[in-house]
């Protein structure tokens, strides 16, 4: 363990089958008085025969005095602090944990674990977390409840507080702590941090110690363009032409400066963004079927209509299979002071809210759910393949 790690006192979940990331919360979860107990599990999408680890958050038992009774929903029971188990077949299993304190108080919590060979992949997109560490902590706390498998920040990370404090917002919860340690928290460099600051951040928040990088995770091919999306189109095309990109169900780009934005402070019109040409970038998105482009820089939320060849293809939030185009997202509500949100011909929705984006990527469709820190949904969009 790293000497600087901030520990949460809880029952920890670890996955044995090559993934250490925790699973989804659902509406079946019930919280009680003992620190709001909630059951978590890892990996997020267990398959039959895959060993998972199950644990509970919100238990204050540093010396291990409490008694634990687990019922995993398939006749398997355990009294261990941490439970490792593999379900033999697909299904939805009701998991019950009963905790008995040393004073005799008893607490129970229940949640479902879905075991299937056909799960989606969930990740978070947000950005512009500078200036207000308290608001950023609220954002991280909120999206932690989604149990994502990847987090992407579009830049302007910590100006106004320290990189160590920014990291500490992730370290306070085992979900985001595990993501950070396994290089599943990734960023696009913003204009409020230097490349040196990024490279010296540990654990790493980029891939391969590069500002521009690309990688595959699950059914998605991710490309990070760093600060300026119009700066390196030849490299971008190489990535989009790669076998990994073409074999992926979804191609997704992150950058700091937006392609389209009606924001009051910076703005972008699909041709020029903050003085830099982005028209060729947009053409590459059209050519290589990029579904989502996430950026920040303007401190509001904005989603375009579905755009192809510089024109609106659809004004709807559900895009049928076979429709060419891209959704361009500004997600600059990660804690920084909010800017006024304008509207232009490309704008489907624009809001002045602190928020985060949850993306669920299935093989046949990909859905965007945008939420405020109180869990309320402010936007939805779905693209079918």
Domains of the chain and CATH, by start: 1-117 (2.60.40.10), 121-384 (3.60.21.10)
Residue 12 has pLDDT above 60, yes or no: no
Mean pLDDT of 86-94: 92
- Joined together, the tokens standing for residue 313 give 């293809």
Mean pLDDT is highest, among 22-36, 69-83, 345-359, for 345-359
- Report the chain's terminal Cα–Cα distance, integer Å: 42
pLDDT band at 383, cuts 50/70/90?
Answer: very high
Torsion angle, CA of 164/168/169/175, rounded to 10 degrees? Answer: 130
Mean pLDDT of 277-298: 96
Cβ neighbour number for residue 316 with a 10 Å cutoff: 13
Task: Say which range, 24-28, 106-110, 151-155, 333-337, has the weakest mean pLDDT.
Answer: 24-28
Return phi, psi of residue 39, to 5°: -85, 135
Could you read off the pLDDT of 259-282 as tens digits, one per residue?
A: 999 988 898 999 988 888 999 999
d(CA 51, CA 19): 10
Q: Rounded to two decimals, what is the model's pTM?
A: 0.75
Residue 153, C-beta contacts closer than 8 angstroms, at least 6 positions apart: 126, 127, 129, 185, 186, 187, 188, 205, 334
d(CA 316, CA 162): 41
Mean pLDDT of 287-293: 98
d(CA 301, CA 376): 14
Mean pLDDT of 282-290: 97
d(CA 60, CA 66): 9
Which residue, chain included where needed, has tokens 């699973």? 23
d(CA 143, CA 358): 8
Residue 59 near residue 102, CB atoms below 8 Å: no
Residue 47, C-beta contacts closer than 8 angstroms, at least 6 positions apart: 115, 116, 117, 119
Residue 82: its pLDDT value, please? 83
Count how many residues are written for the chain: 385
């Amino acid at each position: 363990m790293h000497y600087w790690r901030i520990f949460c006192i809880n029952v920890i979940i670890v996955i044995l089958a090559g993934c250490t990331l925790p699973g989804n919360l659902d509406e079946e979860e019930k919280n009680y008085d003992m620190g709001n107990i909630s059951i978590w599990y890892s990996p997020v999408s267990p398959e039959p025969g895959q060993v998972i680890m199950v644990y509970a958050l919100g238990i204050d038992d540093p010396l291990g005095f409490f008694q634990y009774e687990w019922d995993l929903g398939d006749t398997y029971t355990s009294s261990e602090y941490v439970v490792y188990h593999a379900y033999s077949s697909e299904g939805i299993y009701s998991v019950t944990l009963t905790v008995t304190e040393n004073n005799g108080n008893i607490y129970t919590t229940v949640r479902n674990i879905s075991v299937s060979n056909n799960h989606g992949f969930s990740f978070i997109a947000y950005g512009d977390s500078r200036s207000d560490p308290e608001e950023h902590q609220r954002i991280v706390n909120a999206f932690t409840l989604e149990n994502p498998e990847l987090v992407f920040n579009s830049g302007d990370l910590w100006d106004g507080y320290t990189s160590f404090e920014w990291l500490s917002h992730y370290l306070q919860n085992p979900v985001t702590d595990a993501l950070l340690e396994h290089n599943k928290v990734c960023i696009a460099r913003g204009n409020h941090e230097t490349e040196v600051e990024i490279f010296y951040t540990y654990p790493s928040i980029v891939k391969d110690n590069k500002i521009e990088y690309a990688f595959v995770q699950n059914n998605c091919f991710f490309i990070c363009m760093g600060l300026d999306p119009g700066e390196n189109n030849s490299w971008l095309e190489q990535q989009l032409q790669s076998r990994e990109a073409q074999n992926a169900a979804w191609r997704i780009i992150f950058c700091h400066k937006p392609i389209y934005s009606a924001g009051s402070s910076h703005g972008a019109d699909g041709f020029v963004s903050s003085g830099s040409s982005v028209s060729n970038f947009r053409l590459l998105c059209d050519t290589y079927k990029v579904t989502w482009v996430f950026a920040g820089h303007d401190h509001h939320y904005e989603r375009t209509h579905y755009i192809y060849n510089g024109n609106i293809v659809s004004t709807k939030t559900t895009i049928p299979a076979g429709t060419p185009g891209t959704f361009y997202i500004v997600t600059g509500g990660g804690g920084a002071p909010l800017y006024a949100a304008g509207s232009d011909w490309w704008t489907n929705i624009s809001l002045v809210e602190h928020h985060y984006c949850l993306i669920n990527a299935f093989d046949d469709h990909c859905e965007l759910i945008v939420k405020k820190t109180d869990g309320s949904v402010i936007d939805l969009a779905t693209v079918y393949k």
